[in-house]
Structure 1
Amino acid sequence: MKKKLVTTVALAVGLTSVLAACGKEPAPDASSNPGATTAPKEFTVSFRHTQIKDTAKKRKAMFEDVLKEVEGKVPGLKFEPEGVDEVVNRDTKLKAEMAAGNPPKIFELFGGADTKNYAKTNNLLDLTPILKELNLTDSFVDLSEFTVDGKVYGLPTAGYVQGVFYNKKIFKDNGVEVPKTYAEFLKVAETLKGKGVTPLALGGNEAWALNMLPNTLYVRNGGQEVVAGLVSGTTKWTDEAFVKGHKQFKEDMWDKGFFNQDAPALKYAQMQDLFAGGKTAMIFDGGWANQKYSNPDQSKIVADLGFFNFPTVEGGKGNELINGSYSNGFGFSAKLNENEKKAVTEFIKVMYSEKYQVRQLTEEGFFPSMKLKTGDVKPIINEMLKAAEGKKTFPAFDAIVQPKVKLDLENGIQALVGGKKKVEEILADVQKSQEAENKKAAK
């Protein structure tokens, strides 16, 4: 996907027959009695979300407001919300439900490989006609990760970029500046460590967080084509770009102690707490994290928060890129009755409106997935937009490769930082997994 990250984002937005029992007087007909009313038949629609962490309170509240508004517009509708951990939802529950043919009616969905796989089960609703009905077909910035064979099977709620959040005060106090090259980045980290400052926060307990930085490194080295080629077979995990990117992460950073010493044990939220508490100078994270780092109730560094795109590497084919896409969104069950389809259509109409797209931008700093002009936003949002300006985006590797490959790489990266395997060994194992999954897909 070679699209410039758009810094302008989208403007959007019963049956009442009464049967008379035999031999009894018929019930009054509302048509003959204008003052009479018939209560709508109640029905429920399941709604799965992953906004269960403390950092997601605002997003959860926004979803709740959306559901309440939709209920008010669809007679008889009552939503049944369910909060599930993001990893559990993606890697366990949704997989099982899709295989069994009983996913929730509305649920958070990841684009790319997940959407493609689920579309094959015929359990994902084709949204193409609904978008046409609501006149939203051309209102989204990028639907590519939710489009399969020309049909749209999911809708992104927001876009993101990944890069380096940094503490401006720590940088200034220690005489370092924002690095423009990888060599300068390592020098900054070395200087900070030499002065007793932990350069980078990291949590290795959740392997997906470990894989964010290597993902950017191997794309920096080889260009975005190296990841896209894994599924087609034109590239391999054992290629130079992947080996070099992983070695840069392991040998240049991990082995030199540039991360917090307790990194192997920390979870993602805990690594964020380190940076937000002013205990590290930098953290490589997704743009979604700005809602925590810029929230004075959760962060001590609000006034000193900055952001920059990861620096260029010498000879890199992906130096003009920034990790970013529109991968997180909503999917819908293909098995809907007439009332449920009305509820889904109204949900899309409300959720993907200017009102809520602007709200998520101003409240949480989430880049809208729709084409609207940004208004007054937090300073950190402007820094992220500036970092992405003129850059082409590339999606995270797990939006492209098969879920099994993703999990095997996660196991591999933990074995790598745990000193149990070398870079070449883990990548050889992952390549075997990639080839096996490619072979399955070809059948």
Structure 2
Amino acid sequence: MLTARRRTLTTAAALSTALLLASCGGSGDGGSDGTTLRLWHYEAPNSAMGVAWTEAIKEFEAQHPGVKVKFEEKSFEQIQKTAPMVLNSSDAPDLMEYNKGNATAGLLSKQGLLTDLTAEVTKRGWDKLLSPGVRTTSQYTNGVMGSGSWYGVTNYAEYTMLYFNKDLFKKYGVQEPTTSAQLTAALQKFKDKGITPLANAGAEYLAHQYLYQLALTRADRAWVDSYELYKGKPDFHDAAWTYAAETFAEWVKKGYLAKSSSGATAEQAGVSFLQGKAPILFSGSWWYGRFRSEATFDWGTSLWPDSKLTLGSGGNLWVVPKSAKNKQLAYDFIDITLSKRIQNLLGDKGGVPVAADPAAITDPKSKRLITDFTALSARDGLAFYPDWPVPGFYDVLVSETQKLITGSEKPEGFLDAVEKAYDKGVPAS
């Protein structure tokens, strides 16, 4: 899976500052006598998850007199690269944050390195807290996500949305869109004013996420499951894919997406929005905290209009190593992170909780973020990411979408190339 790639692109600054505060450890750390919970995660201390989990540690220790949490902060890349080796040794922690997907948590489950949490999930009712779309990446059958045993549990989510510079909309007298027709009209009005309306990044994930979202406006759950979960054979020349490729190319031709964006990075796209150069950005909730702290103008968000589906998934997983010494303590900690109090805190700090009370969120923008996610989750609207299905697909999508931006390839050629790469990468059944 390339979730890690997308995540590190958008949170590289936070993750690069994560310091290794303790070595792998293991022997002599008190981990086997029930008085220590060894916990690894890679969230920055000032992130929504970092703040919420720090509070969860305090609550855990208050509920477990005599037990201490030995938190060992790791970098995302460190856990990603060393997890198989560490988990196959006596140095494994009791609880660890790990990346979701077939190539990561799925692979470890297939290798027998993770504890099957199914019984605990049912016993504690975690399955009732997570919507079908959120829990897809928690369950694996022979390493493939979507069904079967629970090998991880998430307590947050992520999804994509339209970010609006409200000041620019007011300045140029453009109506904030609530329908697809209004969105197209807004794009044209900004272009008529000499402004390229959409921030874009052809060198990274943004461009092909625009295209995938366009396809999702013509898709349903069965379409997504066929493409993402191998439940059927996708048709890359169907109405959804054809509409997406043709509309994307048309938007470039009309100037809604700049041809110069073919070589732009996600960071450059985000900065163009922050600097007030682009009135609209379509991207994920991972930008939310940054915009809240850095934007000097009035801004807002909305789900893509007239679409039941959008890109998104459950967040990374809490996994319990097969060799963990204190599994019951690990389960208790997961339970606390899913409690209303911790979920509400996560939401108020700019995260996307999976079990919060929207009425308890005090920050107005956070409230909108969670309200939209609640609506999206209720209609099973998380459609994952376009680069997930097969290894190496991210690079294919970047390259082929760049060709659409520069005009060196027609929509039909784009669809042919994507279909060829997909069919080559789908595992034999």
Question: Given the two structures, how large is their TM-score scaled by the length of structure 1?
Answer: 0.72
Aligned residue for 1:27? none
Identity, % of aligned pairs?
A: 20
Secondary structure (helix, strand or coil) at the match of 2:114 reads coil
Aligned twin of 1:279 = 277
State the partner residue of 2:76. Answer: 84
Q: Is the 8 A contact 1:161 1:322 kept in 2?
A: no
1:294-335 Cα distance to aligned partner (Å, 9 max, x none): x2x41112xx222233234xxxxxx4x031654213142533
Residue 209 of structure 1 aligns with an amino acid whose one-letter code is L
Per the alignment, residue 315 of structure 2 pairs with 328
Aligned length: 379
Report the Cα offset of residue 267 of structure 1: 2.9
Q: CA RMSD in A?
A: 3.6
Q: Name the one with the larger helix percent.
A: 2
Alignment partners' CA distance in 2, 1:107 and 1:153: 12
Q: 1:374 to 1:228 in 2, by over 3 A?
A: same
Q: 1:203 to 1:240 in 2, by over 3 A?
A: same
- 1:415 and 1:187 map into 2 onto residues whose CA distance is 26
Bigger RCO (CA 8 Å, 6+ sep): 1
Unpaired runs of 5+ residues, structure 2, are 1-31, 141-146
Asked if 1 retains the 8 angstrom alpha-carbon contact of 2:220 and 2:309, the reply is no
Q: CA 1:167 to 1:84, structure 2 compared with 1: closer, same or farther past 3 Å?
A: same
- Contact persistence 1:156–1:326 (CA under 8 A): no
Query: 1: distance between equivalents of 2:187 and 2:213?
Result: 18
Q: Per-residue deviation at 1:41?
A: 8.9
Deviation at 1:220, TM superposition (A): 0.9
Letter in 1 for 2:226: G
Partner of 2:139: 147
Q: Which residue of 1 aligns with 2:261?
A: 263
Residue number among 337, 345, 351 corresponding to 2:324 in the alignment: 337
Aligned to 1:433: 421
Distance 1:235 1:373 in 2: 37
| Structure-2 change in CA distance of 1:46 and 1:360 (3 Å) | closer
**Cα distance in 2, alignment partners of residues 180 and 247 from structure 1:** 23
1:69-218 matches, within 5 Å, as 70=60, 73=64, 75=67, 77-84=69-76, 93=80, 97-98=83-84, 102=88, 105=93, 106-111=96-101, 115-132=105-122, 134=124, 136-142=126-132, 143-148=135-140, 149-206=147-204, 208-218=205-215
Aligned counterpart for 2:360 among listed residues 350, 367, 375: 375
Conservation of the 8 A alpha-carbon contact between 2:121 and 2:127: yes
- Matched letter for residue 129 of structure 2: S
What letter corresponds to residue 242 of structure 1 in structure 2? W
**1:317-368, CA deviations, whole angstroms, 9 ceiling, x for partnerless residues?**
xx4x0316542131425332323x245224313322222211111111x332
Cα separation, partners in 2 of 1:277 and 1:238, compared to 1, 3 Å: same
| 1:291 CA drift (Å) | 2.4
Alignment of 1:47-86 (within 5 A): 47-49=40-42, 51=44, 57-67=47-57, 70=60, 73=64, 75=67, 77-84=69-76
AA matched with 1:378? D
Which ranges in structure 1 are unaligned for 5 or more consecutive residues?
1-38, 313-318
What is the CA-CA distance between 1:416 and the residue it aligns to?
A: 3.6
- Write the distance in 2 (CA, Å) between the matches of 1:229 and 1:282: 31
1: CA distance, partners of 2:411 / 2:139: 34
Equivalent position SS for 1:258: coil
Residue 300 (structure 1) aligned to one of 280, 293, 296: 296
Within-5 A mapping of 1:351-362: 351-362=337-348
Bigger Rg, structure 1 or 2: 1
Relative to the length of structure 2, the TM-score reads 0.74
Measure the CA separation in 2 of the matches of 1:324 and 1:375: 26
Offset from partner CA, 1:375-422 (integer Å, 9 cap, x none): 243333444536947855132244862344344334432344355544
Q: Which shifted more, 99-108 or 268-277?
A: 99-108
Cα distance change, pair 232–337 in 1 and its aligned pair in 2 (3 A): closer
SS in 2 for 1:234: coil
CA distance in structure 2 between the aligned counterparts of 1:233 and 1:308, rounded to whole angstroms = 32
- Amino acid of the residue matched to residue 202 of structure 1? N
Counterparts in 2 of 1:188 and 1:217: CA distance versus 1, 3 Å: same
Which whole-Å CA distance do the structure 2 matches of 1:236 and 1:120 have between them?
A: 29
